A and B are shown apart, each in its own frame.
Chain A
Amino acid sequence: MREITLSQAVNEALAEEMRRDPTTFILGEDVAEAGTPFKVLSGLVEEFGTERVIDTPISEPGFVGLAVGAALTGARPIVDLMFGDFIYLVMDQLCNQAAKQQYMSGGKLSVPMVLRTNLGATRRSGAQHSQSLQVLVAHIPGLKVALPSSAYEAKGLMKTAIRDNNPVVIIEDKLMYQDKAPVPEEEYLIPFGEANIKREGSDITLIGTSSMVQVAEEAARILEAEGISAEVIDPRTIVPLDEDTLLKSVRKTSRAIVIDEGHQNYGITGEIASRLNEKAFYYLDAPVLRMGAMDVPVPFSPVLEDLTVPTPERVAENARRLCAGEMIHAA
């Protein structure tokens, strides 16, 4: 199968959906000629024109608000938020104005829009350009949240996000834009709420989101060499969450580590771990472990920044200790 980058995969998904549905359009800063600073949207303006690939001023709450209004009245806007860190600026539009329309109207109104943005530290971008804030949106009923872990997921999830009738936040890892993966030429969509078992195993389940799937896979390889068999699962969407697949795996392996790049305190990892504890308690041989980013703002200095995110070595170390029956505290 051909391999393309995550960036190309997103670009293809957008182009295909924009060809398919004339009510779709892209709104964001430097999305047209510049194709965004990450160049993910390069070429789209040539095909769809500045009517459908619209450069906005640096007015995040404003253009997210426009997207909500357009979605409410029959369009399918795709908003480009340059950095995930800017999600704080648009929280009211997203959480009060978009997320609740369906419910507040008793099912009469809907907001079919996509907000695509990014996450990820270790790019030396400082505390305001490195955060992984998926938990903020995952907390709000009415929003769906997808976290692609490779080019394949990025394309399939994006196409589903655009066709979904709800506000969907799709967060790509900005360090993965140039990473290649096999992506079929034929059209495909990845349904929301379907986890992907990346690797089967019997001793421990490693649940990773976004680029933490690669971290988990790398940890699994390290563990395999030591005779520990790790199962790796990518939930692909955290809202909705495919609990069944996760529970089935944990009931089989009896141990689990949940890995996400958001801060560990009150995080995605805590939510997933808690669901496993509640629903698979009698199957567990060890507490489900959370591994998130350290609970500090992301420091600039490379020597400090690298300490803040989960690594394959640290995941493997924790897995080893869990499998050895040590009741460890979260690392």
Chain B
Amino acid sequence: MTSKTKTKTKTNTSPNKHDYLRMYTQMVRIRTFEDNANQLYLAGKMQGLTHMYSGEEAVAVGICEALNDNDRITSTHRGHGHCVAKGANYKEMFCELLGKQEGYCRGKGGSMHIADQSHGNLGANAIVGGSMGIATGSALRAKLLGQDDVTVCFFGDGATAQGLLYEVMNMAALWNLPVIYACENNGYSEYTKTEEIAAGSITARAEAFGIEAFSIDGQDVLGVNELSRKLVARCRNGEGPFFVELMTYRYHGHHVGDINREYYRSKKEEADWKENRDPIIRFRGWLVEQGIATEEEIEALNEQIKQDAKEAVAYAEAAAYPDVAEVDMHVYAETDPATLQAGN
């Protein structure tokens, strides 16, 4: 079994045994990626900061498993989970985290801009709410060019405070764009509780524009996936946009350096989410119960993923940094001079 993901093109049929195992695998791959990223940071091998997705795996996986490779997503500062879920490989991801040339962004992006563009990930964004226009614009393009892909815009509860969201939701609703706004409500925006920075209901914001909105348990990958498949199909059918609020929780601090956090979040609350609502433990229990996998098979899968991560980390650590000559490459895109000839 390899953790390298395969190209996906069909998602219409309801999930089978293979799909369920894949969902599980993807969730564990995210958790394992983050555990390793955290270690790299703590060991001083990774410079800068990074925001862990651990605890929120069912959101990214439930949604991305309802998409195919032509569908697009936009990601956030907490973007490793979206990146893995949309089909990225460990090797290029760890290389990017360490600023190596073989990283997805040739080391130029780093943790907050990591993305595997070839699987439809339009990029992670270090500006909160910064990708809302991009996602909606991608959906506008699909509609204008008659393409049937759907765009999912991931953002946090804190990002609902950005005015941009209301400008683009208005246009998306006016023009029936195939975009799904996926609000990952993990209860906090940095060191502040959501209720202190968001008045009223989050879904009501979308409903004000006539957008159908849902609020669901983001720790239940099956529920997330089921709703996502329906909404994706309806988007393809011209019924978009949609808004989904996914109730979830981040296990780590806001970023890896946010360690003493009891002044804003109790250990008890953290333990409750980890012990009683963990999306991986819950789904694993279901897989065994349904006879889709045995405990032993699951353990072997977990072990394999750990091994894959270990190898990818070792590879990335040994990999080369970009050549210094790359520093001023890629500032401007090339334009074929032929297209600039009059008459062409």
Residues of A within 8 A of B (CB): 29-30, 33-34, 37, 55-59, 61-62, 85-86, 89, 123-129, 294-297, 299-304, 307-308
Query: At the interface with chain A, which of B137-145, B155-163, B210-218?
Result: B155-163
93-149 of chain B: CB within 8 A of chain A:
99-100, 105-113, 125-130
B5 in contact (CB, < 8 A): no
Q: What residues on B are CB-neighbors of A128 within 8 Å?
A: 112-113, 125-127, 130
Given contacts A57-B161, A58-B197, A300-B110, are A33 and B327 in contact (CB under 8 A)?
Answer: no
Also in contact, A56 and B49, with CB within 8 A (given A126-B112, A129-B126, A299-B327): no
Question: Which of A30, A33, A304 has the most B CB atoms < 10 Å from its CB?
Answer: A304
B264 close to chain A: CB less than 8 A: yes
* Beta-carbon nearest neighbor of A304 in chain B: B327
A299 to B128, CA, bound (A): 19
A30 with B191: CB separation less than 8 A: yes
- Could you list some 24 contacts between A and B, CB below 8 A? A34-B191, A55-B196, A57-B158, A58-B162, A58-B197, A59-B162, A86-B127, A89-B127, A124-B47, A125-B49, A126-B109, A126-B126, A128-B125, A295-B331, A299-B107, A299-B108, A300-B111, A301-B99, A301-B100, A303-B321, A303-B322, A304-B107, A304-B108, A304-B324
Partner of B198, one of A57, A301, A308: A57
Complex partner residue of B264 from A29, A34, A61, A125, CB under 8 angstroms: A34
Q: Which residues of A contact B130 (CB under 8 A)?
A: 128
Contacts of B127 in A (CB 8 A): 85-86, 89, 128
Q: Is there a chain A Cβ closer than 8 Å to B11's Cβ?
A: no
Contacts of B158 in A (CB 8 A): 57-58
A123 touches B162 (CB 8 A): no
CB atoms of B48 and A125 under 8 A apart: yes
Given A86-B127, A304-B107, 7 other A-B residues pairs in contact with their CB atoms under 8 A: A89-B127, A124-B47, A124-B48, A125-B110, A295-B328, A300-B109, A301-B110
Interface pair B163/A300, CB less than 8 Å apart: no
Complex Cα gap A37–B324 (Å)? 32
In whole angstroms, what is the CA distance A304 to B108 when docked?
8
Contact of A33 among B48, B111, B163, B191 (CB under 8 A): B191
B189 beta carbon closer than 8 Å to chain A = yes
Contact A37 B190 (CB under 8 A): yes
B49: chain A residues at CB < 8 Å are 124-125
Tell me whether B110 and A55 are in contact (CB under 8 A).
no
**Once the chains bind, are A300 and B197 in contact (CB under 8 Å)?**
no
Given contacts A126-B48, A126-B113, contact A59 B324 (CB under 8 A): no
- Chain B residues with CB below 8 A from A55, complex form: 192, 196-197
Which of A56, A126, A127 meets B111, CB within 8 Å? Answer: A126
Q: Complex formed: what's the CA distance from A67 to B252 in Å?
A: 34
- A301→B158 CA distance, assembly (Å): 28
> A56 to B99, Cβ gap below 8 A?
no
Interface size range of chain B in the complex: 35 or more
A61 to B164, CA, bound (A): 10
Q: In the bound complex, do residue A301 and residue B112 qualify as a contact, i.e. CB atoms below 8 Å apart?
A: no
Is A58 within 8 A of B189, CB to CB? yes
A57 to chain B, nearest CB (A): 3
Tell me which residues across on chain A come within 8 A of B189, comparing CB atoms: 57-58
B113 touches A127 (CB 8 A): yes
The answer to whether B99 touches A303 (Cβ under 8 A) is: yes
Alpha-carbon distance A33/B265, docked complex (angstroms): 12
Q: How far is the CA of A188 from the CA of B49 in the complex (A)?
A: 37
Q: Which residues of A contact B128 (CB under 8 A)?
A: 58
Contact of A301 among B107, B161, B191, B197 (CB under 8 A): B107
Q: How far is the CA of A57 from the CA of B264 in the complex (A)?
A: 16
Q: How far is the CB of A302 from chain B (nearest CB, A)?
A: 6
Residues B190 and A30 in contact, CB atoms below 8 Å apart: yes
A37 closest partner in B (C-beta): B190
Report B-chain residues with C-beta under 8 Å of the C-beta of A29: 190, 192
Closest to B329 in A: A296
Give min CB distance, B242 to chain A, whole Å.
23
CA distance A55 to B129 in the complex (A): 18
A residues in contact with B163, CB < 8 Å: 59, 61-62
Which of A61, A123, A129, A300 has the largest count of B CB atoms less than 10 A from its CB? A300
B289 within 8 A of A: no
Max chain B Cβ within 10 angstroms of own Cβ: one of A34, A56, A295, A299: A299
B190 and A126 contacting across the interface, CB-CB below 8 Å: no
Task: Name B186-235 residues within 8 Å CB distance of A.
Answer: 189-192, 196-198
Q: Quote the shortest CB–CB distance from B77 to chain A (angstroms).
A: 9
Residue A58 contacts which of B48, B129, B322, B331 (CB distance < 8 angstroms)? B129
**Nearest Cβ in chain B — how far from A318, in angstroms?**
19
Bound CA span A16–B111, Å? 39
Nearest B residue to A123 by beta-carbon distance? B48
Q: Which residue of B lies closest to A125 (CB)?
A: B48
Query: How distant is the Cα of A302 from the Cα of B327 in the complex, in angstroms?
Result: 11
A325 → chain B closest CB, angstroms? 29
Q: How far is the CA of A126 from the CA of B264 in the complex (A)?
A: 27
Please give, as numbers and ranges, the residues of chain A lying within 8 Å of B326 by CB-CB distance.
304
**List of A residues within 8 angstroms of B110 by Cβ:** 124-126, 300-301
A94 to B321, CA, bound (A): 40
